[in-house]
Amino acid sequence: MSSTPSTRTAATTAAAAVLAVLLVVVAVAVVLTRPDDQCALPNGAGGGPVPAGTHVKPTDPAATTLTSGFGPRWGTEHRGVDYAGPIGTPIYAFTDGTVREAGPASGFGNWIIVDHIIDGKPYSTVYGHMESDGVLVTTGQQVTAGQEIGRIGNAGQSTGAHLHFELWDGGRLPDGAGTAIDPAPWTSAAVTPGAAPAPTAPNPNSAPGAGASGATTGGLNDKQLAIAKQTVAIGEAMNVPEQGIVVALATVSRESTFQMYASSNVPDSLNYPHDAVGSDHLSVNQFQQQVTIWGDTATLMNPVTANRLFYEHLLAVPGWKSMPTAAAAQAVQNSGLPGAYAEHEPLARALYAQFEGAGRDLSPAEKAALAGAGSSASATAVVDGGSAPDCAQAGSASGGPQFRPGGPFGANVIAAAMRWLGTPYAWGGGDQNGPTGGISDGGGAADAHGDTGKVGFDCSGLTLYAVFQASGGAISLPHFTGDTSNPGQLYDPRGQDIPFDQKQPGDLIFFGSAGNTHHVGIFYGARNGTEMLLNAPQSGDVVSIAPLSGWAGEQMYVRRFG
């Protein structure tokens, strides 16, 4: 988190002069050639399909020691493996996924559960025994392979500082969903944190300065590399020396792992392109700059201006060129963890070496494409596949449609709901602005699962939110599915009754009998020939995408809004 920027000074004439150049440098032809009528529909799994080969060891073997394996131990079954290391040693996400739980847990002190889709199947990884300040992610957050998500602690039933790591085939929650399996064969084949997998053959169509197609650096995927490349390009366009660009890269690596963050504490930030949702004060974007301190939401959720602001503040720091990288980053960020930037310097230097020249070596084809775009088309673009201004992302690596104000209604309904994949189900939770606290159901399943202590959605809370967002606030649905005594959403006159065989992605599907319904979800479309439903299923579960066949035997009513 960046709490207070360094003293502001007037922007230099040179910095102002290159602003027009910035808007050209960071644009991408793919942004300019996207069809105007729609964004791509989904075919990935909830929480995102995981690219092959992006498995990362949960700790750095140079910093930890394997002290206990999987299987029988002390008269019980040890359902994971233990890595001993000093308190504060980084813990890394094994692969891309959605945080299912993050916080206190019996026996673990604190735990983190991340749900994944690997080769089309659900898995979960579990990380245990962190101290309270060693849990660096929140429930519902999207994480990427190799992202630092926690730090080793000695909390709970622990005899010494270590990470307890589990791998579950079928998922860890709800209890009984899956089976713990030995993670050793998986972690043995995984790459070391900060090490790149073997590179692939170069793509002759890549922009100058780009790496090999599909290749990653430090466990970063193509989108994260795009954000890194943009930082290099903007720095070069502003004539920032190499060391200044390295400072910026190390800062982005530490603050966001090269992801564009919105914040649940800044609701309007969710309306801008983002890869993940955080909750650290009012911090947003790849630098974690605080709204009201660094600028307004629109300014800070523009990755171009976020980079420019960082560089302007860095250049205003007296003597920054002679400072160590971590000290220069801290002088700008004023972080509560000033020593945390140092470990990110090697990756920052590797990324600079990879993308040096990104700010000057645009191809003639790119220049021609950009010449007719106008600055508004490129102002929030990210080089080589990052966030685009006209299609806001529906969460990290979701594979789903991207939210575009005024765009196709059904795609926007799905995109709005997919922002909250992995968010807990909470009875009575959800309104037009997002998840809210759950309420008691009088001693039923919601109370048994502790819904009153959760912030999330129930089924109709999710659909009312998605329709409200897709309609630009024009359609505010009741928080009830609907029956013959209470119209709810089912009988809302703004909804069109659609024959089941004519349903389209983004339509709402209600479940029940004789016109009385108890559940509603969003028709997601077909994946590999299987029709899917995006919904908040029930207490103890999370917002997810599941086969529509799970509701076979029930009457289904389709309504189309917008």
Pair 23, 375: CB distance under 8 Å: yes
42 and 74 belong to one structural domain = no
161 and 218 belong to one structural domain = no
Closest CA to 274 of 383, 379, 375, 391: 391
113 and 161 belong to one structural domain = yes
Q: Which helix (H) or strand (E) holds 232?
A: helix 222-237
Pair 403, 416: CB distance under 8 Å: yes
Q: Does residue 325 lie in a domain region?
A: yes
Q: Where are the alpha helices (DSSP H) in 101-144?
A: none
Q: Does residue 194 lie in a domain region?
A: no
The CATH number covering residue 119 comes to 2.70.70.10
> Coil, helix or strand for 110?
strand
Closest CA to 383 of 6, 8, 26, 10: 26
pLDDT tens for the chain, 562 residues long, are 554 443 333 333 333 333 333 433 333 322 222 222 222 222 222 223 223 347 889 999 889 888 888 888 777 888 999 999 999 999 999 988 888 999 999 889 999 999 887 766 788 999 999 999 999 999 888 788 889 999 999 999 888 899 999 999 888 888 767 889 988 888 877 888 875 443 333 332 333 233 333 333 545 667 788 888 888 888 888 889 999 999 999 999 888 888 888 887 888 788 777 777 777 788 899 999 999 889 888 889 888 788 889 999 999 999 999 999 999 999 999 887 777 788 888 888 989 998 888 876 544 443 333 333 333 323 333 334 333 333 333 333 344 566 777 778 999 899 889 888 878 899 999 998 888 889 999 999 999 989 988 888 999 999 999 999 999 889 999 999 999 999 999 999 999 999 999 999 999 999 999 999 999 999 999 877 889 999 999 998 888 888 999 898 899 999 999 8
Task: Phi first, then psi: give them for residue 266, nearest 5 degrees.
Answer: -125, 80
- Quote the CA–CA distance of 507 and 417 in Å, as a whole number: 12
Q: Does residue 491 lie in a domain region?
A: yes
- Amino acid symbol at 135: V
165 and 223 belong to one structural domain = no
Closest CA to 518 of 458, 455, 438, 466: 458
Q: Does residue 201 lie in a domain region?
A: no
162-169 and 179-181 strand pairing: antiparallel
Closest CA to 124 of 183, 44, 65: 183
Q: How far is CA 375 from CA 26, 304, 379, 380, 501, in A?
A: 11, 12, 6, 9, 44
276-278 and 261-263 strand pairing: parallel
Mark 207-220 as b/e (b = at least 16 C-beta within 10 Å).
bebbbeeebbbbbb
Q: Which residue has the tokens 């090697």?
A: 346
Closest CA to 138 of 112, 166, 167, 165: 112
Structure tokens at 41: 């529909």
DSSP for 401-469, written as a single string: --B-TTS-HHHHHHHHHHTTTTPBB-TT--BTTB-EE----SSSHHHHTTGGG-EEB-HHHHHHHHHHH
165 and 234 belong to one structural domain = no
253 and 316 belong to one structural domain = yes
- The number of domains in the chain is 3
473 and 369 belong to one structural domain = no
**How confident is the model at residue 400, as a pLDDT?**
59
- Quote the CA–CA distance of 133 and 149 in Å, as a whole number: 11
Q: Does residue 88 lie in a domain region?
A: yes
Range of the domain at 365: 13-46+213-378
246 and 291 belong to one structural domain = yes
- Quote the CA–CA distance of 325 and 352 in Å, as a whole number: 14
- Quote the CA–CA distance of 157 and 471 in Å, as a whole number: 50
DSSP for 152-197, written as a single string: -B--SS-SSSEEEEEEEET-S-STTSSEEE--HHHHHHSBPTTPPP
- Domain boundary (334, 359, 378) is at 378
Q: Does residue 82 lie in a domain region?
A: yes
- Quote the CA–CA distance of 371 and 291 in Å, as a whole number: 33
Q: Does residue 55 lie in a domain region?
A: no
**How confident is the model at residue 524, as a pLDDT?**
92
492 and 551 belong to one structural domain = yes
Under DSSP, the state recorded for 82 is E
466 and 511 belong to one structural domain = yes
Question: Against a cut of 0.75, is the pTM above it?
Answer: no
425 and 349 belong to one structural domain = no
Residues 181-223 have pLDDT tens digits of 988 888 877 888 875 443 333 332 333 233 333 333 545 667 7
Q: Does residue 399 lie in a domain region?
A: no
Helix axes 242-256, 303-315, angle to 10 degrees: 120
346 and 251 belong to one structural domain = yes
DSSP for 338-363, written as a single string: GGGGGGGHHHHHHHHHHHTTTTT---
DSSP for 494-520, written as a single string: TSEEE-GGG--TT-EEEEEETTEEEEE
Pair 92, 58: CB distance under 8 Å: yes
> Coil, helix or strand for 235?
helix
The CATH number covering residue 469 comes to 3.90.1720.10
Burial of 322 (0-12, 13-18, 19+ CB in 10 A): exposed
